[in-house]
Amino acid sequence: MKVDLTIKIGGAAGQGLDTIGSVLSSTLMKCGFFVFTTQFYLSRIRGGHNTFQIRISDEAIKAMDEKVDILIALDRASIENHLDEMSDGVVIVDRDTVKLDDDFDSLFHVPLLKIAKDTGGNKLYANSVAVGAAMGLLCLDFDVLSNVLSSIFERKGQEIIDNNIKAAKAGYDYARDNYPQGCKFDIQQPEKHSNKMLIAGNESVGLGALAAGLHFLSAYPMTPSTGVMNYIAGKAGKFDLVVEQAEDEIAALNMAIGASFTGARSMVTTSGGGFCLMVEALGLAGITETPVVIFQAQRPGPATGLPTMTEQGDLLFAIHAAQGEFPRCVFAPGTPEDCFYMTANAFNIAEKYQIPVIVMSDQYLADSMFTCERFDASKVSVERHLLSDEEIKDMQEEYARYRFTSSGISPRALPGQAGVLVGADSDEHDEFGHIDETQENRIKMVHKRMNKLELLRNEMPAPETYGSDDAELTLIGWGSTYGPLVEAVDILREEGHSANLVHFTHIHPLPAEKIKEMLGKPGMKVCVENNRTGQFARLLMVETGIEMVDNVLRYDGLPFTPQFIVDSIKQKEVL
C-alpha cells in the first residue's frame, strides 16, 4: 500500500463537518482512491465535539486507522482532543477564529474565514476553502474538486457553484503557496475506478429493499436506523411504494404486519429502543405466520443510552424477544455488499417460511461509507411463495391458511383471492384460523411452527473464513466487525503470526453441524464483539459446545479498529 492517509475534520455540531467530509470524500473517490469514512457525533443539534474521519488508500481498505495525517480543526477542542493522534501530520486551523495559547510545529494557519469573505463574500464558503486547502496539501488535481462542487451545488445555481469553486481554489492555492515545504503529501493519483461507488450501510440496506420489490415501509424515526427510512422515502415515487411515519414503533410493526397480511412486501426500520416497543407485535407476526422484515440498527443502551454511538448489545434480545416460542431468522451483514444482498434475501426468507426476519446492523455500519463494487441487481430474485389463482382453482379440499404440513409451511393465499377464505387469529388457532385452545391442537401448532426453524437451519450457510484454515489463532466475529478483523488478521500475519478469521453473518438459527466441522479443530479461538458480555460467544457455546479461549470486548460506544484488536490480543498473551 503506497498511499495510506487519514484526514480528520473536528468541530462542533453545526460547523459544517458533514459538508467538508462529504465533499472531500467524493473528491478523493473521484481521484481514484479507495475511501473509508466514519463519523463520531453527539446527540445534539449544535455544540459538543464531533469528528468526520476519512481514510484513503490506493488499495482496498476495510476499516479506520488510528493515526491522523491531516486534521482540519474547526475549533480548539479538536486540537486538544486529537493532536496526540498525529506524528508527522498537519493541522489546518484558522488562527483568526480559533484562539490558541500554545504553538506547535504541525499547526498550519489558513485564514478560512477571510478567504471565504474575499472570494465569495460570505463566511459560509469557509468549508470549501478548507476542502481546497486539504487538496492542496495532498498535491491532487484541483479540477476533480471543481467538478464535484459543480455537481453538488447544481440545483443552487451557477453563482453558488462559482463562489464555492473560487473559495476552494483560493484555499488550494494558499496551501500550495504557504506551506513551508510546498505541498505536504506528494502522492500519485491512482487510476480511476471504473465500477466502484462510495456508499454507506444504511443506503445499501435501502437499495436492497428496493431491489427486493418493497411495497410498504413503516417506521418511527430513531437514530441510527432513520437513514434507511429517509433513503427509501426519497425513492418512494419512483418505485411506487408507500412509506408511513407511524406514531410509534408499536404501530409501525403492526402496520407492516397488516400490509404483509394483504400481500405487500413489508419492512420496518428501528433501533434497540424501538425494537423493545415492537416486541408484542413481533409475537403477532410469529403466531399469525406473517412475513415481515425488521431492520434493527443497534446503538448502546439501555434506555436512550448513547444514541449516536455503536454497540452490538442487542443480539440475544433479538433472538429471544417476544412472548412464547416461534421461529425467526436473524441476519447480521458485515459490509455494504452484505447489507444489499442480505436485505434483499431477507424478504424471500420471510415469505418462504412465513416468519419475521431481523436484519441487525449498528451505528458503525449504518453511518460509515465504504468504497465497493456497484451492486448487481440481476443477482436479486423476488420469490413470493404465494398460491396463484390457478392453484387455488385446482385445489381439491377447502383452503386452510394454517394447514398442517410435514414442513410446517402452509400454502399462503391472500385475502380477497377468489375461492378462498383467509382467516387469522392471534389466539392459538386451528388450521382455518379459528380459535382453538385444546391441548392437542396447541401441541400440533407449536410443532408446525417450530418445524420451519429446523428447515431454515439447514438452509443457513456456514460462516466465511479469511486466511488459512489451519491457523493457530482463529478470530471469530459477527456483523459489522468484519472489516477491522480482516485488517487485524493481515497485521498479525505480517508480524509472522498464524491467524485467520471466521466471520458470521447468518446468526439465527446457526447451522451448528457445519460450524462444528469448521471450528472443531485444535487451535486457539478468540471472539471479538462490541458488547460487555460476549453475547455471540455465549450463543456459539450453547448451540455448538465450542468454547473460546478468551474474548476481546469493547463497549465504550466506539467501533473496533484493527490496531485495537491486535493490541488486545497481545495483552491477553494468547499468541
Q: Around Cβ 468, how many Cβ atoms within 10 Å?
A: 12
| Beta-bridge mates of residue 524 | 473
**Joined grid coordinates for residue 236:** 418512494
302 neighbors 333 (Cβ within 8 angstroms): no
Residue 153: pLDDT over 80: yes
Q: Using CA atoms, how far apart are residues 354 and 450, in angstroms rounded to an integer?
A: 12
Q: Using CA atoms, how far apart are residues 192 and 452, in angstroms rounded to an integer?
A: 48
Query: What are 530-540's pLDDT values in tens digits?
Result: 999 999 999 99
What's the pLDDT at 268? Answer: 98
Identify the DSSP state of 476.
Answer: E
Contacts of 171 (CB under 8 A, 6+ apart): 110, 112, 115, 128, 129, 130, 131, 132, 133, 136
269 neighbors 309 (Cβ within 8 angstroms): no
Identify the DSSP state of 49.
Answer: E
pTM of the model: 0.96
Residue 114: pLDDT over 80: yes
| Beta-bridge mates of residue 73 | 10, 93
Mean pLDDT (the chain, rounded): 96
C-alpha 156 chain-centroid distance:
31
What's the pLDDT at 184? Answer: 87
- Average confidence (pLDDT) over 482-487: 98
Q: Using CA atoms, how far apart are residues 335 and 349, in angstroms rounded to an integer?
A: 20
Query: What are 267-295's pLDDT values in tens digits?
Result: 999 999 999 999 999 999 999 999 999 99
* Per-state percent for the chain, helix, strand, coil, to nearest 5: 40, 20, 40
What's the pLDDT at 152? Answer: 94
For residue 143, what are the CA distances in angstroms to 30, 33, 70, 190, 520? 11, 16, 21, 15, 56
Q: What percent of the chain has pLDDT over 90?
A: 93
Residue 232: pLDDT over 70: yes
What's the pLDDT at 575? Answer: 82
**Joined grid coordinates for residue 226:** 432513520
Q: Using CA atoms, how far apart are residues 537 and 42, in angstroms rounded to an integer?
A: 30
Residue 111: pLDDT over 70: yes
In the structure, what pLDDT confidence band is assigned to residue 45 with cuts at 50, 70 and 90?
confident
For the stretch 109-148, what's the b/e string if a residue is b when 16 or more beta carbons lie within 10 angstroms of its beta carbon? ebbbebbbbebbeeebbbbbbbbbbbbbbbbbebebbbeb
**Joined grid coordinates for residue 309:** 454511538
Q: Using only the alpha carbons of the chain, give its radius of gyration.
A: 26
Residue 52: pLDDT over 80: yes
Query: What are 379-389's pLDDT values in tens digits?
Result: 999 999 999 99
- Average confidence (pLDDT) over 122-133: 96
**Joined grid coordinates for residue 193:** 475506478
Contacts of 8 (CB under 8 A, 6+ apart): 51, 52, 53, 54, 68, 70, 71, 72, 78, 82, 85
- One DSSP character per residue, 124-193 reads GGHHHHHHHHHHHHTT--HHHHHHHHHHHTGGG-HHHHHHHHHHHHHHHHHHHHHSTTSSS---PPPPPP
What's the pLDDT at 1? Answer: 64
Residue 479: pLDDT over 90: yes
Query: What are 282-331's pLDDT values in tens digits?
Result: 999 999 999 999 999 999 999 999 999 999 999 999 999 999 999 999 99
Q: Which domains does the chain have, with CATH numbers?
A: 4-194 (3.40.920.10), 199-379 (3.40.50.970), 389-459 (no CATH), 464-572 (3.40.50.920)
For the stretch 295-329, what's the b/e string if a residue is b when 16 or more beta carbons lie within 10 angstroms of its beta carbon? bbbbbbbeeebbbbbbbbbbbbbbbebbeeebbbb
487 neighbors 499 (Cβ within 8 angstroms): no
Residue 253: pLDDT over 80: yes
What's the pLDDT at 357? Answer: 98
Q: Is the peptide bond before 509 cis (omega within 30 degrees of 0)?
A: yes
Query: What are 393-417's pLDDT values in tens digits?
Result: 999 999 999 999 999 999 999 999 9
Residue 256: pLDDT over 70: yes
31 neighbors 144 (Cβ within 8 angstroms): yes
Closest C-alpha among 493, 502, 558, 494 to residue 526? 502
Closest C-alpha among 510, 209, 480, 502 to residue 341? 209
Residue 69: pLDDT over 90: yes
- Average confidence (pLDDT) over 233-251: 97
Q: Around Cβ 573, how many Cβ atoms within 10 Å?
A: 7
Q: Using CA atoms, how far apart are residues 526 and 535, in angstroms rounded to an integer?
A: 13
Helix (H) or strand (E) holding 35: strand 34-40
- As a residue count, the chain comes to 575
Q: Is the peptide bond before 484 cis (omega within 30 degrees of 0)?
A: no
